[in-house]
Structures are given as C-alpha cells and as structure tokens.
Amino acid sequence: DVKVTQSSRYLVKRTGEKVFLECVQDMDHENMFWYRQDPGLGLRLIYFSYDVKMKEKGDIPEGYSVSREKKERFSLILESASTNQTSMYLCASRNTVSTNEKLFFGSGTQLSVL
Amino acid sequence: AQTVTQSQPEMSVQEAETVTLSCTYDTSESDYYLFWYKQPPSRQMILVIRQEAYKQQNATENRFSVNFQKAAKSFSLKISDSQLGDAAMYFCACVQGGSEKLVFGKGTKLTVNP
C-alpha cells in the first residue's frame, strides 16, 4: 500500500516563526499536493508539484512556498507564520497514469499559530 | 472555474439503514471526473468511489453507489446498510480531464446511530 507520511501530527508555533511541514511518499508518485482543510470550507489547494523542482500554485498560495528537491519529499513552508494560518494541512500524492487516479493522503498536520 | 457544492453540512442515519449524501458541481468541460472521499476521525482521507463523466452507468463499490445525473450536474452518494464505521466526513470532488486541480466541496459530516 502507498504510504504518505507527514512529519508531525500536531504542531504549535509562534507568530512570525518560519514553519516547515514535511511530507514523504513511498510509491514514486510524480504528483504531490498540499491542501489546507478548515471547518466549513472543505479542502483548498495551496500548491502542487508535478516533478522534482517543479511546482504550481493552487487556489490559496499566498503566505506559503514549497520545495521539492527529491521526488519522494514535498515540503510546505510558511515563511512568517500568522494566526490565520492555523489550520489542518493535508499532503497527498498520486501517479499520473490518468486524471482519475486517486489521491493518497497523509494523516494531516494540525498547525496552531499563537 | 469549477465549483462543488455539498448542501448538507451534517446528516445522520440509523445503523443498517440507507442514507444519501448530495453533491452538485459546475464545470464547463465535457471531460471530467467525480469522486467521493471519506475522512474518518483518524483524519486519513480515503477514496470511496469515483465516476468518469463519459460513463453513463453509475459507479458502485459494495455498499456504496452513486446517482450520477449529468444534465443536472448532480453526483449523490448512497450508502446502504450503514455501519458504525461509516461515520466520517464525506467530501465530493471534481477534476477536469488533464488537470491536476481537484476541487472539493465543503463536506458532509455523517453520524451513524446504533
């Protein structure tokens, strides 16, 4: 089975800190994604990557950046964390055989910015 | 732009009964794919069922089936013989063919009563 691992389940940071959220997948998937999940808003795409060093903005990229130096690892970076970035962050991956390939998700990181 | 609407923030069902979760979507494309994902309390999102828009036959996966009404842009999920383990958040999602941007609805929280 595909495994998508997010480094932290819970994280508490201070306003202004630089925050790294790490995600690793073990199935050689080309595509990796970062979503943000908020109650009443569903999942919103922050960034995705379709290859090493390649990235594309999603619907809400402001305040975030990403890094993909190796195929299996996709990092989400909050350059200067703010309280409105308190949220659940979900990483996902999938292969690119066809558009209807399912996403494999990590278990999420609940980030609190104080 | 695509939109996905889930009009029921919460639903409940008695164990062994049947429940239907609603989803409508809007897309200008003729080539697209629809999904239902489940997020239990463990937060691990998993695919429940998927449907290709070009297929007229409704998808089924064991106790889960969809009612795909293409003209009405409706994609409801029917859960038969509901089990306690079906309690979760359910998200409807849509992606256009050739795109990586999966758009999610806001979710429906399903409670299963013993």
Q: What pLDDT, on the 0 to 100 scale, is given for residue A95?
A: 84
Q: Are the C-beta atoms of B65 and B58 separated by less than 8 Å? A: yes
Interval B31-56: pLDDT, tens: 899 999 999 998 989 999 999 999 88
Q: Are the C-beta atoms of B3 and B104 separated by less than 8 Å? A: no
**Which of B6, B9, B52 comes nearest A100 by C-beta?**
B52
Interval B64-108: pLDDT, tens: 999 999 999 999 999 999 999 999 999 999 998 878 888 999 999
Q: What is the pLDDT along chain A (114 residues), one digit of tens a residue?
A: 669 999 899 999 999 999 999 999 998 999 999 999 999 899 999 999 998 989 999 999 999 999 999 999 999 999 999 999 999 999 999 987 666 778 899 999 999 999
Q: What pLDDT, on the 0 to 100 scale, is given for residue B101?
A: 85
- Name chain B contacts of A35, Cβ cutoff 8 Å: 104
Which residues, including other chains, have CB under 8 Å from residue A104's CB and lie 6 or more apart? A2, A3, A4, A25, A27, A29, A92, A93, A94
Rounded to an integer, what distance in angstroms lies between the CA atom of residue A28 and that of residue B16?
40
Q: What pLDDT, on the 0 to 100 scale, is given for residue B96?
A: 86
User: In chain B, whose CA is at the least distance from the CA of A32?
Assistant: B100
- Name chain A contacts of B44, Cβ cutoff 8 Å: 105-107
Q: What pLDDT, on the 0 to 100 scale, is given for residue B2?
A: 83
Residue A60's alpha-carbon distances to A34, A44, A64, A65, B93, in angstroms, are: 10, 7, 9, 11, 17
Is the Cβ of A60 closer than 8 Å to some Cβ of chain B?
A: no
Q: What pLDDT, on the 0 to 100 scale, is given for residue A1?
A: 67
Q: What pLDDT, on the 0 to 100 scale, is given for residue A31?
A: 92
- Name chain A contacts of B35, Cβ cutoff 8 Å: 102
Is the Cβ of A48 closer than 8 Å to some Cβ of chain B?
A: yes
**Which of A45, A90, A100 comes nearest B101 by C-beta?**
A45
